Amino acid sequence: MKNSTNMKKTTDRFLIYGAYGYTGKLILELCKKQGIKPVIAGRNEDKLAILKKEYGFEYIAFSLDNVEKSAEILTPFKAVLHCAGPFMFTAEPMLKACLLSKTHYLDITGEISVFEMAAAMDKQFKENGICAIPGVGFDVVPSDCQAAFVAKQLPDATHLNLYIYSKGGVSRGTSLTMVENIDKGGAIRKDGRIKVVRAAYKSLEVTFGDKKKKCVTIPWGDVSTAFHSTGIPNIEVYMSLPASAMKMLSIKKRFGFIFKLGFVKNFMRRKVMEGKAGPSEKSREKSEVNIIAEAINASGKSVRSYLNGPDGYNLTAMTALESVIRVTNDNPKPGFYTPSTLFGADYILEFDGIVRKEI
């Protein structure tokens, strides 16, 4: 952090669920460096025991199958940082447990369905006195802050475009989420509503600094969150994808029905589990994130902002840990939040390696 606003870290009051996942372990590394001692959790006790030997953190093994039991375990904790995806399967039971235990909820999802579910539960969060802030990682802290920033510069914007270019590989968890969603289409927001479109239905060339990249529309989390952050009714998110992903999209356009078959998905899940947990430390050090946000109003006036930062997984660890610390310490007003509506459009600038400039 460049200049954290925290006076002290009451970190004995939060729990990290899914701590032995790829991103969870990156967060634990940061905790160790900063002298923070969270309680860690997950369904696999053997993996948690290994982490206890490595980091010295106390652990609790439990699954999310029984909401009442999960709530009982969560009750002593002020907040939970949920890192166990795919979140389409795990977010709802954890959210329900948090409502019962009155525990603040944060996660690192980028899944539109989870954001929309949480937004729809705003009244329940307020009634139960808790906050819910999904997407406190690379999905979607930097892009959400970018969206909020340009919206402030152009308050009457009717359209928002986000362009993302990220070097580096993906984790096993991210790959599994992609497999679960591979038979679904893309998504944009049109006139305030989320609209399902075909995968990569639009493409264009975008200049990121000194690099020109072909980008295609993707169902990134900001299709949901940027609307709640800015009120802009038309939102599209574009990303530069590696050649292998572009090839997969081409196959999907022609033979999309194949990916709906159960045995095909099972095969893909097995291949993901056989692969690496995620990018190496060396790979992450060489990686970077580039995000351009563009707001446009009805008369055609536009405002653009460019943001450059470190690898998405390193960034996720930093923003997720700082976010749960702030919520634990500050105890914000109850309700559903996006990162920028809770922490502000400039929140991302507080992290090392982040540069933002207007174009």
Give the CATH number for residue 208. Answer: 3.30.360.10
Q: Tell me the residue type at 30.
A: L
Residue 340 has pLDDT above 80, yes or no: yes
165 backbone dihedrals φ, ψ, rounded to 5°: -135, 120
- Same domain flag for 232 and 251: yes
Does an H or E element contain 358, and which?
strand 355-358
| pLDDT tens, residue by residue, 234-264 | 999 998 876 555 555 555 555 555 556 565 5
Q: Tell me the residue type at 123.
A: K
* pTM across the whole model: 0.89
Residue 353 lies in a domain: no
SS (HEC) of 209-238: CCEEEEEEECCCCHHHHHHHHHCCCEEEEE
- Same domain flag for 103 and 188: no
> Looking at residue 140, what DSSP letter applies?
B
Task: Give the best-scoring range by mean pLDDT among 14-28, 229-243, 255-269.
Answer: 14-28
Mean pLDDT along residues 163-185: 63
Question: Are the C-beta atoms of residues 288 and 310 closer than 8 Å to each other?
Answer: yes
Q: Do the strands 157-166 and 302-310 form a parallel or antiparallel pair, or are they unpaired?
A: unpaired
Domains identified in the chain, total number: 2
Pick the residue with more confidence: 259 or 167? 167
* Domain of 108, in residue numbers: 11-138+313-344
In this predicted structure, what is the pLDDT of residue 252? 58
- Same domain flag for 161 and 266: yes
Residue 294 has pLDDT above 70, yes or no: yes
Residue 180 has pLDDT above 60, yes or no: no
- Same domain flag for 301 and 334: no
| pLDDT tens, residue by residue, 50-97 | 999 999 999 999 999 999 999 999 999 999 999 998 999 999 999 999
Residue 199 has pLDDT above 50, yes or no: yes
- Within 8 A by CB and 6+ apart from 349, the residues are 2, 145, 356
The token pair at 137 is 């990682």
Residue 5 has pLDDT above 60, yes or no: no
Distance CA 121, CA 294 (A): 29
pLDDT class of 200 with cuts at 50, 70, 90: confident
Share of the chain above pLDDT 90, in %: 72
